[in-house]
Amino acid sequence: MTPIVAPFPAARLRRARQSPAIRALVRENALSAGDLIWPLFVRAGEGVEEPVPSMPGVMRRSVDRIVEAARQAADLGVGAICIFPYTGLEERTEDCAGAWDPDNHANRAIRAVKAALPDLAVMTDVALDTYNINGHDGFVVDGQIVNDETVEALVRMALAQAEAGADIIGPSDMMDGRIGAIRSALEGAGHRNVMILSYAAKYASAFYGPFRDAVGASAALTGDKKTYQMDPANADEAMRLIARDLAEGADMVMVKPGMPYLDICRRAKDTFGAPTFAYQVSGEYAMTKAAAQAGWIDGERVMMESLIGFKRAGCDGVLTYFAPEAARLLGG
């Protein structure tokens, strides 16, 4: 596109900014509650809502409270919820068997939410880190994160989630070959309409710190995730990963974290035209909340500005801890 601009004063570009009505007329992008996916943390117990200290306003909830939060999401018109389990060190094992237990906290939450609110879309997390004794997304053998053995476990995990009623499977592990394996297992088990939102371009990021507190992985994690998550310096590699995951049967793709990677979102949308999401991760949320609490920024305005930024960068939607707060402001 070549913009045509008449010489001044024929063109006064400020004309288009002169009033709220005119600005609304020429506005290029819009955010709606239906674009948002709200991540929720589920833990053991009943009637429990436990704050996550590094994420002000975010709770770990027992299954019954997850259902209440889901109802709130539905009432606000939020597009989907995404369920992550919190597991204490005592619930973690080397074989990660909890990950495909049909009765783990996450699967019980999926079943309870779908029973109460069948129309609300429920997304999951597929990765071993929340069940693994060492906090890694894959099995660790002799200090290496092994790929193919992990993919077999991820397939079992994804099938258990689909059985529990999940609408969208979210592999966040960055192993090779897992999208194809999960897709064919889903087809084989008759789950033809279960979608896969692949965390296709997920970077080895320091912005995940508060999330690892929220799911109990901080204490568990040994080493870093750089042999499977991406180098923040790379962009072409993200396009190869997204192309690969779409070719293996992903319905939608995600870029993660969000704000530092808006260039990747834009390139992904322009290159593939697939449904594209960004994950505005825990560290992005925590920074905004902390600065707002200190009185250094206007928290609400920064929240809305960051969210419209994702739309402008080509995203169809955003996973964000701000989902209910933003939806409320959007009038839901």
Q: Which is nearer to ligand PBG, 3 or 138 (CB)?
A: 138
Q: Of 200, 159, 163, 212, which Cα lies nearest the Cα of 182?
A: 159
Rounded CA gap, 207 and 258, in Å?
A: 10
Structure tokens at 48: 């429990």
Q: Compute the least distance from the CB of residue 253 to ligand PBG, in Å.
A: 15
Q: Compute the least distance from the CB of residue 257 to ligand PBG, in Å.
A: 7
In a 3-state reduction of DSSP, which class is residue 151?
A: helix
Q: Compute the least distance from the CB of residue 172 to ligand PBG, in Å.
A: 4
Q: Which is nearer to ligand PBG, 116 or 260 (CB)?
A: 260
Q: Which is nearer to ligand PBG, 116 or 209 (CB)?
A: 209
**Which are the catalytic amino acids?**
202, 256
Rounded CA gap, 282 and 234, in Å?
A: 22
Q: Compute the least distance from the CB of residue 273 to ligand PBG, in Å.
A: 25
Q: Which is nearer to ligand PBG, 175 or 242 (CB)?
A: 175
Q: Is 243 exposed, middle or buried (0-12, 13-18, 19+ CB in 10 A)?
A: middle
Rounded CA gap, 251 and 245, in Å?
A: 9
**Could you list the residues that contact ligand PBG (CB under 6 A)?**
125, 127, 129, 137, 172, 208, 211-212, 225, 281-282
Place of tokens 């919190």: 86
> Which residue of the chain is nearest ligand PBG when measured via CB?
211
